[in-house]
Amino acid sequence: MYFGDIYLMDDLTQTYLDYLIVEKGLAHNTILSYSEDLVRFLNFLEKNKIDRVHEVDTTTIFAWLIDLAKHGLSAKSRARHLISIRGFFKYLLNEKIISANPLKNVDIPKTGVSLPKFLTVQEVSVLLDAPDIGKPKGLRNSAMMEIMYGSGLRVSELVRLKLQDVNLDANVVRVMGKGSKERMVPFGSHAGAVTQKWIKEGRSLLLNGKATPYLFFARGGNPMSRQGFWKILKGYGTLAGLSKNITPHTLRHSFATHLLEGGADLRSVQTMLGHSDISTTQIYTHISRDYLIKMHRQYHPRGS
């Protein structure tokens, strides 16, 4: 069924199955397999109150894969489900029902589905405890990592933060994301405490008389580069004895994964991430800052 430029998922899946039968001439058992995979996917979407195709993005797909894994499906089974859903969205793209495929960046290795790389809660804890906060640089680095994991920011957003963007009374950060889209993202008490300590005790010492509007900075008050923060993060990963390859995106994935595994509302997680294809979708505009803060504090490992 068509509503303006919005399509309902139930109708689209039936149209897709009809297409496989009539146009592709697939065998009955193959159609049945596709149908079962699509029904399971639709049940996941329904549980998360998603019934329109334009509401599905890459974050939704990753959350669904995590859900399949939590229900005991092997990597091989997850790969089969992913192939079924990929075919469905490829069909929607070809029919110009959607303008972007949410599975575009989701790979299917020969060994099965590879979920986004993330750290366990314990690994994150060890990593975030690695900096020496008794030194200005260590305090800065600690605050950067806490804010990134606490808010799920992109590294480009983190290094562009200005002092005025952080509200330590409400533990909320204002972020200018992709396409100059502004959003407000909560962070927990751990991030708030170390950031406040950085601003009060470490920032002026590291500036050494210089001036800069940036919350975090490199030598001389200049903005830190994305590569500069990545090197800092990698160094602390080694110091903490973690064998995983840690990148800034690893913390972003960890943020989303830990919230979803904890039971957070998928819509809230998507909003906090600032995913470009939902930031312009009106259905999300009713999510208030207070509600996001509540969801963050309830489900983020370091939220309170």
Per-residue pLDDT at 8 = 62
Per-residue pLDDT at 297 = 79
Annotated active-site residue 253? The verdict is no
User: How far is it, in rounded angstroms, from Cα 64 to Cα 39?
Assistant: 13
User: How far is it, in rounded angstroms, from Cα 18 to Cα 94?
Assistant: 15
Closest residue by Cα to residue 115 from 82, 142, 137, 145:
82
Annotated catalytic residue, options 90, 284, 291, 297: 284
Annotated catalytic residue, options 178, 181, 200, 244: 178
Per-residue pLDDT at 159 = 94
Annotated active-site residue 252? The verdict is yes
User: How far is it, in rounded angstroms, from Cα 278 to Cα 271?
Assistant: 7
Q: Which helix (H) or strand (E) holds 174?
A: strand 172-176
Annotated catalytic residue, options 54, 78, 140, 154: 154
The CATH number for 2-94, chosen from 1.10.10.60, 1.10.150.130, 1.20.1070.10, 2.60.40.10, is 1.10.150.130
Please report, rounded to a whole number, the percentage of residues in the chain having pLDDT higher than 90.
39
Annotated catalytic residue, options 54, 81, 183, 252: 252
Per-residue pLDDT at 158 = 95
User: How far is it, in rounded angstroms, from Cα 266 to Cα 58?
Assistant: 12
* Contact call for residues 41 and 35 (beta carbons, < 8 A): no
Instruction: Assign domain 121-299 to a CATH class.
Output: mainly alpha
pTM of structure? 0.64
pLDDT tens, 147-177? 999 999 989 899 999 999 999 999 999 998 7
| Residue 21 burial (10 A CB sphere; 0-12, 13-18, 19+) | middle
Per-residue pLDDT at 1 = 32
User: How far is it, in rounded angstroms, from Cα 233 to Cα 142?
Assistant: 10
Annotated active-site residue 174? The verdict is no
- pLDDT less than 50: residues of the chain: 1-6, 113, 277-288
Annotated catalytic residue, options 183, 253, 267, 275: 275
* Contact call for residues 55 and 281 (beta carbons, < 8 A): yes
CA 59 to chain centroid, in Å, comes to 6
User: Six-digit token pair at 260?
Assistant: 């979803």
Over the chain, what is the mean pLDDT? Answer: 83
Annotated catalytic residue, options 86, 90, 249, 297: 249
Annotated active-site residue 249? The verdict is yes
Residue spans per domain, the chain: 2-94, 121-299
User: How far is it, in rounded angstroms, from Cα 302 to Cα 203?
Assistant: 23
Strand partners, 167: 172
